[in-house]
Structure 1
């Protein structure tokens, strides 16, 4: 997909409407994790350096089209100013007189954050009139919120049809990395999909077995596949009603020459608790009171060998209950191996999804991956092969 970037834009003196994702964790009225604020810095600084007036659009929480004081973006402005090392003005509205006056007061290089766009029902309904009201405060539109790109909202999709539209620096980074992983990857491509439920990742699995050369399934969903193959899973979490679906995915993988890796051995315990006595079991040797809580060492060793023989890795979901040692060993072991290969330039390793990011941070190796997406739902829908409205809109440029 081709899309315009800020390298293509005339910025001096122009009002840049920038969609960012500032839906950040808060504690006691203050930002408790500024990761998403820091992610927006390269785009904001590039616009400032080019002499643009930077007008930021964002949502926070789910006010459902009503003004909810507790969901105001006001506390974000000082937190962003601290990260930027530059003042950030705040307007108590995102459209209308207050927004217009705040935008009119800007000088080139200034930064303004407008109030929560979701205070208006027109945002989530992608109302044309609301999109036009937003567009009145900009000369160009920049989308830097890949994490919100799976939503066809006024500020993520509608605006791209009203103003010259560009991908921000974070958006460009994300789309380039994803293209390397699934769009035009270097083969062989290995996928790792973990997590608890097959039912929540059906579209993902069906798409990946048609795109990948190899796919490893771990976490609780692996239990369903093992059960579908006739293995006893004891007291493990298992979607037994999904057994036929699991067999269908196994058949689909075979038809598409995608080699499927299911566990060879497993780690079990009688209860899921930190430090609970854990045992390594071969398949089918699980007692009725035992739960499968992690991939076994033989499974991880085979997965590491598969990485050695791959050029690209795409990872979504942990291999076990990584939040609870000792059931983190499988995920941590595989993560370290992937990180080492990526750091050595032998593997393009792309990972994403909330649990995956947390697992890689737990393993202490997220920074060594080629790219780690914090996008959650958008990353998952992209892996499922679905069109993301916010991204698609950027590729349909309005020539002005």
Structure 2
């Protein structure tokens, strides 16, 4: 562990700049899902308990370096105060006079939220001058935004090179979970990778076959692999031009001793619609006028046996078109099996990615996994084996 935690930095009486991700969904000017706000509570409360003065840095939306009133962080104040249970002040800029005056006016036990960092063009360019202007407001830097750690921005990477830096509690939990899953995992390791396209997950698949013992491929991606084996998938979503790539991945997996698991039976339908008539067929028997929309029960049974034989699970992407019943059955059944093994202490399960999180919640098991990451791009890039700038900047 090459990064410091909150327990290793003196904070009493010091202004602590905390990079958080509170880019929450809004409806009619109100926060419609406060999950990301709730996730930062342990870090902010710990800083307060240690006598520090938390100053929050965050982005909201994509203003592209311009002041866009509709993307101000000000409407988040009521929800922040509700979650933190302390007064939260607001500064109309994240640098300069307004920010400096707001920091100087902070009383003990208060939190300050600075305006959207992306109102400055230099934020996404990781401009050194902007990072220095932000750093001038505080004495300690804490990054608690793993979900933005794959971006080398002024507030996620630049400041960490200027001030004493540490990981917040959410970042700390995320990094520990990921280390347990791919760094030094309990073996055997199984990865579930689903989703629509092989082309968007080439780096991911290439990294995983060299690091896991079993790779379960689902969703539209599985159809591409079936095509690569000469199987007709009818009208199913598949990247037929990626067949050679799929065969290369299969060959690399064989070379690395990684067993690839594809559907042995599938659920097919003529229409992608709620409650559409469907049937279960062998994976090589999809009618020309039908679409494969989910994995079948024999496939789920094979996946369950693989889970039982493994000690660590990493999951990114659903096994079928889980948004619409009955094509959510395989994803739900496999998720429930993973949850059962996790509850029994037989499996370390780490999942992440937007669709994955939604699928686990739909299956009612999100709280039963060892760790569920809400970070989309950062989680995926970590699975791809890429260095995350926001994390690397803490390693010093």
TM-score > 0.5 by shorter chain = yes
Where in structure 2 are the equivalents of 1:204-219 lying within 5 Å?
204-219=204-219
What is the aligned-residue RMSD (CA, Å)?
Answer: 0.6
Once residues 6 and 83 of structure 1 are traced to their aligned partners in structure 2, the CA distance between those partners, rounded to angstroms, is 20
* Counterpart Cα distance in 2 of 1:284 and 1:16: 59
The superposition leaves residues 332-357 of structure 1 with CA deviations (integer Å, 9 ceiling, x where unpaired) of 00000000111111100000000000
- Which residue in the other structure is 1:287 paired with? 287
Q: Answer whether contact 1:264 1:282 (CA < 8 A) is retained.
A: yes
Contact kept in structure 2, 1:214 and 1:259, CA below 8 Å: yes
* Partner residue in 1 for 2:250: 250
Give the structure 2 partner of residue 112 of structure 1: 112
The residue that corresponds to 1:149 in the other structure is 149
Contact 2:92 2:115 in 1 (8 A): yes
1:382 aligns with: 382
> In the alignment, which residue of structure 1 is the partner of 2:366?
366
Q: Tell me if structure 2 keeps the 8 A contact 1:314–1:350.
A: yes
Structure 1 CA distance for aligned equivalents of residues 319 and 111 of structure 2? 43
SS of equivalent residue, structure 1 residue 129: helix
What residue in structure 1 maps to residue 307 of structure 2? 307
User: Structure 2 matches for 1:60-209, cutoff 5 A?
Assistant: 60-209=60-209
Q: Distance in 1 between matches of 2:133 and 2:66?
A: 17
Match in the other structure for 1:344: 344
Q: Is the 8 A contact 1:12 1:108 kept in 2?
A: no
Which residue is 2:57 aligned to?
57
Q: Is the 8 A contact 2:86 2:109 kept in 1?
A: no
SS of equivalent to 1:121:
coil
Deviation by residue 1:253-292 (Cα, 9 ceiling, x = unmatched): 0000001101110000000000001100102211111000
Q: Which whole-Å CA distance do the structure 2 matches of 1:178 and 1:213 have between them? A: 17
SS at match of 2:63: coil
TM-score (norm 1): 0.98
CA drift at 1:306? 0.3
SS of 1:166 mapped into structure 2: strand
- What count of residue pairs does the alignment treat as equivalent? 396
What CA deviation, in whole Å up to 9, does each residue of 1:64-102 have, x standing for no partner?
A: 100000000001111110111211111111000000000
Whether 1:267 aligns to 2:284 is: no
